[in-house]
Amino acid sequence: MSLDAITSDSLSHTRHGFFTRKGGASSGVYAGLNCGAGSQDQAEMVAINRTRVADAMGVAPDALIGVYQVHSADVVVADGPTADKPRADAVVTATPGLALSILTADCQPVLFSDPAAGVIGAAHAGWQGALDGVLEATVAAMVDLGATRAGITAVIGPTISQTAYEVGPEFFERFVDTDRDFDRFFAGGDGDRMQFDLPAFGQFKLREAGVGHTEWVRHCTYSDRDRFYSYRRSVHDKEADYGRLISAIRL
């Protein structure tokens, strides 16, 4: 089975893809293209899946670069294949032949490109990373490599949508304590529950960082079981674990 990747016309100048779970070797709750080495899936299945993604991106498996994601605002610069995965939540490069990748299962995968400067980036932006500044930090790291803010396109891939993202009052208070205007990213829910709009918040943060163009591909990970893994859905279904989606971009 061939892989299934969502792409954006805004990034058509570079090879990229927000890969769905279709076309992978994993089974059970991981059925499909689980690329998360941190899951409890069989390591050999994850390796097969990652090799398939590397092939689709036109790079060797060791040139599919990722990081050990920790919900931080930290960014690293990649200049070649490495066995190490630094603790960070975004990676940028100006080195041709590398594919930058991010794993998600409801959080935002964000792919960045400045084609004129030859600089790309990939970021994992859940609510915590987005609030703490991982998107702004990724843009700044790209600028350090020669990109311009106005020349950067940033596309948010499949992520949990507002209708599926119920949160409690403590979550809401953390946002409005940071900035009272952040209340506009919340809608009323049942009782003291609220619905948080993660992709709208991500787009706001990207615009504040000055990127020239930003968009969301408008696919909800929670709502489409056939195409996407979802951490929140796995909790609601009382599953023991969940797969991780991969998103990648290369020069």
pLDDT tens column, 54-100: 999 999 999 999 999 999 999 999 999 988 899 999 999 999 999 99
Q: How far is CA 112 from CA 59, 86, 88, 184, 201, in A?
A: 18, 20, 16, 26, 17
Q: Nearest Cα to 129, choosing from 72, 207, 205?
A: 72
Task: State what percent of residues in the chain have pLDDT above 90.
Answer: 98
Q: Categorise residue 198: left if φ over 0, alpha if ψ from -120 to 50, beta otherwise.
A: alpha
Q: Structural domain boundaries of the chain?
A: 5-161+197-250
Q: Categorise residue 32: left if φ over 0, alpha if ψ from -120 to 50, beta otherwise.
A: left
pLDDT tens column, 177-235: 999 999 999 999 899 999 999 999 999 999 999 999 999 999 999 999 999 999 999 99
pTM of the model: 0.98
At the second CATH level, the architecture of 5-161+197-250 is: 4-Layer Sandwich (3.60)
Q: How far is CA 182 from CA 145, 202, 248, in A?
A: 31, 12, 30
